[in-house]
Amino acid sequence: MNIILIGPPGAGKGTQAKRMIERLGVPQISTGDMFRAAVKEGTPMGLKAKACMDKGELVPDDVVIGVVNERLQKPDCKPGFILDGFPRTLDQAKALDELLDKMRSKLDHVVVIEVPDNNLVGRLTGRRTCRGCGYMHHITFDPPKKEGICDKCGSELYQRDDDQEVTIRERLATYHSQTSPLIEYYSNKGIVRKIDGTKNMQEVQDAVKASIGA
Ligand code: AMP
């Protein structure tokens, strides 16, 4: 099954994707995670991506499309995939259509997780990510038992550079101007499933499951 998750930063795309991969037996492909890994490794692509990420801007389409193209060729994508954070522009969406055509594949569902902006700033500024397993705690809604330490694996928690308020506002503006038009693009194909992302994690998960019939 091939799924795209769309939603503003902090809507819970990554959390929901992680909860779906085991059940569906398909990988989560997060372009944000791939760029953060490249930044950590200090590759030339990582350096280019970091400059955009720190400003809350998008990484150029050609870079992102190249990365996703390579990733979708890997054997673990044969049974399908969950794309989390890609596509984010109309040009990326069109490039994905072409890639899937070449692979003789198609999208099954585009799950849109809707959360109003005023809910998102608090969600993102309080987010603390684990350096070890990637689990996301929240200092108010899901605080770790020991400050700064992940409950799941005991590694250090950190705050993403782009989870500072000024950058968050930029990321939200970028989402509204460049990514939200994708909802209409995919609505025209009849594959959009809209979910109320303001509910708790379990309720959102149940709604996602129901919307894709899995
Ligand atoms: P995320 O972890 O999905 O919130 O992504 C973090 C940052 O990585 C974004 O703010 C962008 O700078 C960059 N990024 C991730 N995915 C894409 C994409 N599909 N197109 C352009 N930039 C992206």
Is 142 domain-assigned? no
Q: Is residue 74 assigned to a domain?
A: yes
pLDDT < 50 regions, the chain:
none
Q: Examine residue 152 and state whether it is found in any structural domain, yes or no.
A: no
pLDDT digits (tens, 9 = 90+) for 32-58: 999 999 999 999 999 999 999 998 899
Residue 6 forms part of a structural domain: yes
List all residues whose CB is within 6 A of at least one atom of ligand 1: 9, 31-32, 35, 52-53, 57-59, 64, 85-88, 92, 162, 171
Q: Is residue 133 part of a domain?
A: no
Per the structure, the complete domain to which residue 108 belongs is given by 2-115+164-212
CATH at residue 92:
3.40.50.300
Helix count and strand count (H, E) for the chain: 9, 8
Determine whether 71 is an active site residue. Answer: no
Structural domain contains residue 144: no
Q: Which member of 36, 50, 123, 127 is catalytic?
A: 127
What's the whole-model pTM score? 0.91
Nearest CA to ligand 1 atom 6: 32
Q: Is residue 85 part of a domain?
A: yes
CA 207 from chain center: how many Å? 18
Strand 127-130 and strand 136-138: the pairing is antiparallel
Strand 127-130: give its sheet, edge to edge: 136-138, 127-130, 157-158
pLDDT of residue 186: 98
Total domain count for the chain? 1
